[in-house]
Amino acid sequence: MEHKEEVLERIEAKGVSRRDFVKYCTLVTSVLGLAPSMVPRVAEAMAAKQRPTAIWLHFAECTGCSEALLRTTYPWIDEVVLEVLNVAYHETIMAPSGEAAEKSLHDAMTQYKGKYILICEGGIPMKDGGVYGKVGGKTMLDIAKAATKDALATICVGNCACSGGVQAAKPNPTGAVSVEKATGVKTININGCPPNPINIIATVVHYLLLGKLPALDDKGRPLFAYGMNIHDNCPRRAHYEAGNFVKKFGDEGAMKGWCLAEVGCKGPNTFNNCPQVMFNDGTNWPIGAGHPCIGCSEPNFWDEQSPFYQPI
């Protein structure tokens, strides 16, 4: 590792012993499914003087996850882009188009090979060689394969990248799948449609500051957010237990905030931290707005949690 001494000195100045630091790097490396030989590269990336580089790729998506991220307030999105990360490629906000944009991607992947954090939004169409989704003349499939190969880590944001998304719902006309399925790379999955930006930020910042990933569940989702069942944490749970159910939207029970089980709530099937953190800085969340949960953080929820208004 280049500048090894310099890096380790800086880490120590931050209060992390050299031994712990190497342990962290090893842990991160193994969690990410990387080979042990990657440990030095992980260490280097995390100790870099410059801002860590993120490449954000859009595949078969609606850009809702990018929009969700824009709602972050800690840090603010301008802080993320100007001070926290080097967002080297993001089609929604970047200045150049066409060849100049392709240059940005190429340069970032070359200059930061093995060191960039790849963030993926969108599913990968696979049918007929992946031709149903292209960027700059290349299939999303080819782009995903190349980008995941040289990434330090791949974080999937949203149900589409994590599990295929809305386009993968029956009959999945374009053969859309998750990034993990398309590339074979193990991804960290911030699921949701879209996910709460708090969970995206928390995962990335956790990784950058502490040098380790949060614990993940069997679906690659951080347990701090997805380890909790909505139903178990729902403020309306007492109504469920007492048998107070909304029968029709706007009825007396709805005015009293009764349980939404009978209008189709999928809370019992869903793992996410919505009841605790809610959305838009704690403003509201679906059940709070009197609407059943549709299970949007669960893989294949479009098929498995629907019809959305039919009780479980």
Instruction: In angstroms, give the least distance from the CB of 49 to another protein.
Output: 9
Instruction: In angstroms, give the least distance from the CB of 17 to another protein.
Output: 29
Q: Counting beta carbons within 10 angstroms of the beta carbon of residue 94, is it exposed (0 to 12), middle (13 to 18) or buried (19 or more)?
A: middle
Q: Which is nearer to another protein, 36 or 171 (CB)?
A: 171
Q: Cis link prior to 194 (omega < 30° from 0)?
A: yes
Q: Cis link prior to 307 (omega < 30° from 0)?
A: yes
Q: Which is nearer to another protein, 69 or 202 (CB)?
A: 69
Q: Which is nearer to another protein, 15 or 98 (CB)?
A: 98
Instruction: In angstroms, give the least distance from the CB of 287 to another protein.
Output: 8
Give, in order, the Cα–Cα distances in Å from 112 to each of 13, 188, 289: 25, 20, 44
Q: Which is nearer to another protein, 112 or 207 (CB)?
A: 112
Instruction: In angstroms, give the least distance from the CB of 288 to another protein.
Output: 7
Q: Which is nearer to another protein, 24 or 116 (CB)?
A: 116
Radius of gyration of the chain (CA): 21
Q: Strand, helix or coil at 66?
A: helix
- CB neighbours (10 Å) of residue 59? 25
Instruction: In angstroms, give the least distance from the CB of 21 to another protein.
Output: 24
Which pair of tokens denotes residue 142?
């080819």
- CB neighbours (10 Å) of residue 304? 12
- Integer Cα distance of 206 and 139 in angstroms: 32
Q: Which is nearer to another protein, 22 or 309 (CB)?
A: 309
Instruction: In angstroms, give the least distance from the CB of 152 to another protein.
Output: 16
